[in-house]
A and B are shown apart, each in its own frame.
Chain A
């Protein structure tokens, strides 16, 4: 242990193990958190971080191992036990109720019978004192992701916890919102609270955290002081080996290339009261370039994907043009036949049918575009040809699997994503739209996917990538546009884009005013 805080131990975990089926999600994990420290829990997706904290919060029951709180062994059987001990949690996927107000949401996690109006007043006072303003009577469904996180944090603080667990808190925030969060955390530390901070963003861990525990494949692989490490050395601990850097050669003469995907005055009314309308979106994606769309989750990216992919068609045929042809009224298959390919955000259930084999999933997305190759006379499926194509994709994308042609659900998230992206790349599409290409994918697989997207662009296709991961967009994009509340900013060329500018646009600054706002921040 190299934590430089010298407070007594608040929480000690010894040999904690959790088994799901045959998978050891946590394998004999040790963790010590001192009073008044910010302790980072590092690891890739699927390393077991979330499982570990769910056991600390009582949502999951450990298989074996011991938890000590202030030196005494405790059994945390349910979240209410954790709350009584003084453990609070801010969930990664918020545990909020959209149809209820902020105050009602807060009331639900407090066990006493305090009237809602009192809770609302307390929550508001607390939120202002931490500089996280919050209207307690607004409906959660109407709030942005950043505001929703405030509710979670305020709800957690109202329980007066000694230990606050934050699960990937900044993955949904703009850089500026994240800075605000760091101020709050530092203030909490100064008040003597302990924080367990889960992240895979190494820079913020180095900046804030006093100690770190690194996990890989369910095991703790090291404890360290992040201030004495480099981002590269932390990454090595997390991943276990070096990750190949993505190479993006600059592209000459893009502005002269023809636009393969043209979006003109694309608007869409909200389908449900809590969804975002699209407001007059215009964008050209030219042959050879990758355009990234940044934005905080829930600002219309899902609606935009549906509109461009043809899951929802438009009234105006000219609002979407693919390779110069009007495609607004065409459905997915019609747009695919024009040479477009789409990879949705949700892998299981949207990108792939979980209980069908990989080869069957291949046929599902390409039965029309590759009809001649995959379907014979009389509509008989050519199993051999499909399996061969499926194996080809597996080899090109380095998909690791246990059987020859397993069900989609049997693959890990990263490997399935490689297959789904590979399935579309295999067609050499001229236009490709990908939503969250590497969400929840380990670093090695992410690098592979990003590199192949860049290569497809350089071979003359137009690529549009929607992502909430700014690092990813800066790595692969030739220009970055920002989606905020259903509007899309004009794309900023990569050379002009900075984290600060993009962050301001993500927070809702007017395009063109972002530069000005930067000076006044």
Chain B
């Protein structure tokens, strides 16, 4: 039982950064912007979060800096693609490359240093309940933030007028502009929100998951988050499901490798990707629903005529 609980806890820790980064990107893409720089913003959050935590000794300050780092870094993307109307794919890719390089440079002095870890929740009386206590009341703060974020994004997009406006911009920015909706203002806010989420996800990596700084420690998670958004057909709860399937198979194959199962390790390592894609493709078989949720103006630059 103890082992099962521990496995569940590691799954949650593995899924959380994917969930947060993907939730941010979901909002960005719902506004019609494709930001391929998630990986870059995430790693910037990771290095910023670790550095601030290490220098101040407070992992909480580290977490705030991680969020700010992602948000500021995404502003660069927003300025290029929204104000200057550059190609979103190319700009996003260069943002990732820039983030990976810049973070490596910023983090040289942090390599090998012991970091600060955010403490797990500990509520007297609740956390000590067998099984349930640790799962529901004994995890790290970022886990709770990720769940609250999913609820908040789902509510915002589908229950508020502002969310409806954001979705409408993703559907047709020309129509939105004709109605007098400030398209670029919404998109700026969405991109910065996405950047803050990616930064938070990076902070989770260097302040919770493995509290240390290693170059390239995001290890492609930004790309997985991007793929999750698409395969989840831009729906928040499916993103949550996808992130947890990925986390579960990821942890599962690690254990399988540790047991020495006679299957090539490369095959095992590819399982999480395969499983996530297969499951999400299966649940998005309804083409009509997928089309309805796909932001039709995704990736198209918008220049308002005045």
Contacts and interface: CB of A to CB of B under 8 A. Distances in A.
Interface stretch (A56-64, A318-326, A442-450, A451-459): A56-64
A100 B167 contact: yes
Contact of A139 (B168, B176, B292): B292
B291 A273 contact: yes
A369 interface: no
Contacts of A109: 179
A121 B165 CA distance: 20
Contacts of B181: 108
Interface string A98-112: 111000110111000
A505 B306 CA distance: 41
Contacts of B293: 99
A104 B179 contact: no
B284 to A, nearest CB: 13
B180 A96 contact: no
A104 to B, nearest CB: 6
Given A113-B161, A273-B288, A98 B171 contact: yes
A335 interface: no
A274 interface: yes
Mostly, the B contact residues are helix
Interface residues of A, number: 28
Report, as a range, how many residues of chain B touch the other chain. 20 to 34
A78 B180 contact: yes
A272 B164 contact: no
B292 A95 contact: no
B292 to A, nearest CB: 5
A79 B296 contact: no
Given A98-B171, A100-B171, A273 B292 contact: yes
Given A139-B292, A273-B292, A79 B167 contact: no
Contacts of B161: 107, 113
A97 B172 contact: yes
A59 B180 CA distance: 7
Contacts, number: 66
Contacts of A96: 172, 175
B185 interface: no
Nearest to B304: A59
Interface in B138-161: 161
A274 B287 CA distance: 11
B175 to A, nearest CB: 4
Interface string B29-54: 00000000000000000000000000
B216 interface: no
B178 A95 contact: yes
B178 A91 contact: yes
Contacts of B291: 99, 272-274
A108 B164 contact: yes
Given A60-B306, A91-B178, A108-B179, A98 B296 contact: yes
A83 interface: yes
B180 A99 contact: no
Given A95-B174, A107-B161, A273-B288, A58 B167 contact: no
Interface in A177-193: none
B174 A99 contact: no
B109 to A, nearest CB: 49
Contacts of B168: 97, 100, 104-105, 108
A61 to B, nearest CB: 5
11 contacts: A59-B178, A80-B180, A94-B175, A97-B175, A100-B167, A105-B168, A107-B164, A139-B292, A141-B292, A273-B288, A273-B292
Interface of A: 58-61, 78-80, 82-83, 91, 94-100, 104-105, 107-109, 113, 139, 141, 272-274
Interface of B: 161, 164-165, 167-168, 171-172, 174-181, 287-288, 291-294, 296, 305-306
The 6 closest A-B pairs by CB, nearest first: A79-B180, A95-B178, A95-B175, A273-B288, A97-B171, A80-B180
